[in-house]
Amino acid sequence: MTGPRNGTGTAALVVAMAGLVLCWSVVGGIVCGVVAVILGLLGRGHASRGEADNGGIATAGTALGVVAIVASVASAVIWASAWRDSGGNDYLDCATRAGSDQKAVQACTDKWLNEIQNRFGITSPRPSRESA
pLDDT digits 0-9 by tens, 60-112: 999 999 999 999 999 999 999 989 988 899 999 999 999 999 999 999 999 99
pLDDT digits 0-9 by tens, 10-68: 999 999 999 999 998 888 999 999 999 999 999 999 999 999 999 999 999 999 999 99
Rounded Cα–Cα distance for residues 50 and 32 (Å): 26
Rounded Cα–Cα distance for residues 73 and 79 (Å): 10
Q: What is the pTM of this model?
A: 0.75
